[in-house]
Amino acid sequence: MTTVAESPTNWIGFLFIAIIVIIVISLFFRFVPVGLWVTAYFSGVKVNIGTLVGMRLRRVAPQDIIRPLIKATKAGLDIDINELEAHYLAGGDINQVIDALIAAQRANIDLVFKQAAAIDLAGRNVFEAVQVSVNPKVIETPQIAAMAMNGIEVKARAKVTVRANIERLVGGAGEETIIARVGEGIVTTVGSAARHTDVLENPDSISKTVLRKGLDSGTAFEILSIDIADIDVGRNIGASLQMEQAQADKNIAQAKAEERRSMAIAQEQEMIAEVQKMRARVVEAEAEVPLALAEALKSGNLGAMDYYNMNNVNADTKMRNSISDTTERESDR
């Protein structure tokens, strides 16, 4: 009875231990990349298990280091695993760097790992840079408008063939600078031409002038050639500017004439007001005459006969004026 009772207990203990062992082995193989170590060993990459475990502890994915290292080793590159891990921890793209080194080796371009890593950390695509260094790239500028001395606009579009300069990739200017400098050269060349026809007859003069300026200085590229892909005649800017200037002068003259007209109208109104003021004074003076006559009669300074004689003179004067006006109208007829 005791043996029968102990038998299930022993089986349960054995099963529990087996489960623990399986869990421990699973955790071991999960934490220790044995499969990756085996792959690296048979690929010719000498790396020990402790190094892979250390990567795990440093929160580095071992496969992201070992697989590019295997690729580099197969390509004949001698790269230290610590350099790869340091570049990985710095946020670099190890695969891109290794691909660039392999491409540079095949193209006989002198490129070492530290230089490629620096280019990658600078934010440039180092693999693409190596490709552009082997196979030059064509950069097409937008349509650039410039004006010759005779006032005619010339529109040109250029194609710039460049090759990447590996030594200047770190700190060197990019494609935008090349396009801006070529555009400046086109504007300068067209602007210095006496006539727009000179540029149309010799478009290669633009290329020669631009190339002489050394536009690739301080950039990550080396300019191989500049070709004018398209050139057209635009507006007559000189004539347009003259028309705009003439219109502006006309507007100014009209404004000044309107100002003088307004001043004349204001002066006329002032004169009318002055005339009305003088007439008012005359009416006021005429109103005082009867009072003065009355005062003179009252004080004895003026006699009755003198007053009648004065009225007769006034009546005679009015009659003469009336007769002269009638005569003048008849003579006009």
Domain boundary among 176, 205, 236: 236
For residue 131, is pLDDT > 80? yes
Same domain as 213, residue 188: yes
CB 150 within 8 A of CB 195: yes
Domain boundary among 102, 134, 166: 134
Q: What is the pLDDT of residues 161-171, one digit of tens each?
A: 888 888 787 77
Same domain as 141, residue 120: no
Determine the pLDDT at residue 293.
72
- The dihedral region occupied by 151, where left means phi > 0, alpha psi between -120 and 50, and beta the remainder, is left
**223 in a structural domain:** yes
Same domain as 105, residue 48: yes
Determine the pLDDT at residue 330.
67
CB hemisphere CA count around 84 (13 angstroms): 27
For residue 259, is pLDDT > 60? yes
Q: Mean per-residue pLDDT for 189-193?
A: 81
Q: What CA–CA distances, in Å, run from 283 to 76, 81, 280, 287, 307?
A: 124, 120, 5, 6, 21
Same domain as 153, residue 96: no
Work out how many domains the chain is built from and give that number.
2
Q: Indicate the average pLDDT of the chain.
A: 79
Same domain as 127, residue 28: yes
Closest CA to 115 of 165, 170, 45: 170
Determine the pLDDT at residue 5.
46
Same domain as 230, residue 163: yes
CA dist 115 and 66 (Å) reads 21
CB 51 within 8 A of CB 81: yes
Determine the pLDDT at residue 222.
83
CA dist 262 and 255 (Å) reads 10
**277 in a structural domain:** no
Q: Mean per-residue pLDDT for 149-164?
A: 84
pLDDT winner (highest mean) among 191-195, 271-275, 316-320: 271-275
Closest CA to 109 of 167, 175, 168: 167
> Is the full-model pTM beyond 0.85?
no
Same domain as 225, residue 180: yes
Residue 83 is part of which domain span? 18-134
Closest CA to 190 of 133, 224, 234: 234
Query: Residue 330 gets which letter from DSSP?
Result: H
Position 30 confidence tier, pLDDT thresholds 50, 70, 90: low
Residue with tokens 């003439």: 246
For residue 4, is pLDDT > 60? no
Domain boundary among 89, 118, 134: 134
Position 331 confidence tier, pLDDT thresholds 50, 70, 90: low
Position 33 confidence tier, pLDDT thresholds 50, 70, 90: low
Element (DSSP H or E) covering residue 62: helix 62-74
Same domain as 39, residue 89: yes
Same domain as 171, residue 72: no
